[in-house]
Amino acid sequence: MSLVVMKFGGSSLANPDKIKHVAEKIVIKKRNNNRVIAVVSAPGDTTDDLIKMAYEINCNPPLREMDMLLATGEMISVSLLAMAIYSMGERVISMTGSQAGIMANKDYTRARIKKINPKKINDQLAKDNIVIVAGFQALNPIGDITTLGRGGSDLTAVALAAALESDLCEIYSDVDGIYTTDPRVVEDAKKIDYISYDEMLEMASSGSQVLQSRSVEVAKKFNVEIHSRSTFSENEGTIITSEEKIKGKKMESFLISGISFDKSQVKFTISALNVPGIVAEIFSLFYGVGISIDMFNQSVSNKSNIISFVVNRSDMNKTQEELNKITLNCEASISCDEYVAKVSIIGVGVKSHNIVAAKMFEILRKSGIGISMISISEIRISCIINESDVVKAVEELHKGFGLSKK
């Protein structure tokens, strides 16, 4: 008898019919001789609605209270889903994060899981119960409810799969897996059968929104195999697993697994006299106010210092303010390009094949797309280009690296 963790997102639980559909999938899994733990998010738009309510009352709500509020969404899901399963004649019990033994640190709204005490879940599984766990929430050392940040239910599912040594962790959503690129942009995008943890991480951090990055990190650390698949079809989705396992499964290896892009970027450029320590100052100030820098370039000559970097568009105004502070006492000009985007190619091929970078730049050049910044990691190459070129760039790269269906 296998132990399976199934995770369902909010859009799969948005109304009573959808909840019943999810209940059926869980019951079928159980009847196929599995022990089942289901992890769920808040139904539909509940979390957004609760956040909106909070801001109507306090434009800067205390984080502890925010977590108390948001945790209710998942409690609604677990109880309703348990009721639906119960009406199908199966034994079932719902649990809050706290009841499921998920312990986190004190950081409200973005807590990290410290430990899972699986006793209560194991007891219920031993009684032949299906166990439904509220995702996204945990208990901190002082007995408060904390939440794990956006997409935190994925993390709950993977962490439970690791702690309980489950045989499989299925993450259900409204898409049927990971694609070579966004199928809404490139019609020809292909579903990927297998992808490594590292590739998935790069995909997630460079724009793909199917899985939360932290959950992939934990899956990698504890070697949890994830199956990302659709709630609304029986098709196989994408298996996220270790590179070794994939090598054994794939007949031929592909240089590149996918193309991702991110349009929520703005690029700043500072031209200043060579002021010593200005870079350290930028990083330290930005860290203090929570702005995270994505790509960073500096070219220094005797006389001048040109610094470029990219931040998320939501941080644009804050960034401008901080830069004004820094450049107040030195001669410097700041420019901001709002209309940029990042396009990335991801694949284990990057690290072993120099030709990949050359090929990427050549494809973009041939398409008449200029590159204003480049960053290269082990398995990813990202370029900053004009926002208006994104679709063309993704299409050409997708075709050029042989990812299209044909």
Q: Between residues 108 and 286, which has the closer beta carbon with respect to a second copy? A: 108
- Residues in Cβ contact with 235 at an 8 Å cutoff, skipping those fewer than 6 apart: 176, 229
Q: How far apart (Å, rounded) are the C-alpha atoms in residues 119 and 160?
A: 12
If binding is defined by CB under 8 A, does position 109 make contact with a second copy?
no
If binding is defined by CB under 8 A, does position 93 make contact with a second copy?
yes
- Residues in Cβ contact with 241 at an 8 Å cutoff, skipping those fewer than 6 apart: 194, 196, 197, 225, 226
Q: Between residues 78 and 159, which has the closer beta carbon with respect to a second copy? A: 78
Q: Between residues 54 and 376, which has the closer beta carbon with respect to a second copy? A: 54
If binding is defined by CB under 8 A, does position 120 make contact with a second copy?
yes
Spacing of C-alpha 55 from chain mean position: 25
Q: How far apart (Å, rounded) are the C-alpha atoms in residues 266 and 339?
A: 7
Q: Between residues 143 and 277, which has the closer beta carbon with respect to a second copy? A: 143
Give me the phi and psi of 109, to 5 degrees please.
Answer: 65, -10
If binding is defined by CB under 8 A, does position 372 make contact with a second copy?
no
Question: Coil, strand, or helix at residue 64?
Answer: helix
**Length of the chain as a residue count:** 406
| Side chain identity, residue 323 | L
Q: Map the footprint of a second copy across residues 53-92, applying CB under 8 A.
A: 53-54, 56-62, 64-66, 68-69, 71-72, 75-76, 78-80, 82-84, 86-87
Per-residue interface string for the shown chain with a second copy, residues 143-182, x marking contact by CB under 8 A:
xxx-------------------------------------
Q: Map the footprint of a second copy across residues 261-300, applying CB under 8 A.
A: none
Q: How far is the CB of 229 from a second copy (least distance, A)?
A: 24
* Among 168, 50, 157, 163, CA closest to 109: 50
If binding is defined by CB under 8 A, does position 118 make contact with a second copy?
no
Residues that bind a second copy in the complex, under the rule CB under 8 A: 16, 19-20, 50, 53-54, 56-62, 64-66, 68-69, 71-72, 75-76, 78-80, 82-84, 86-87, 93-94, 96, 99, 120, 143-145
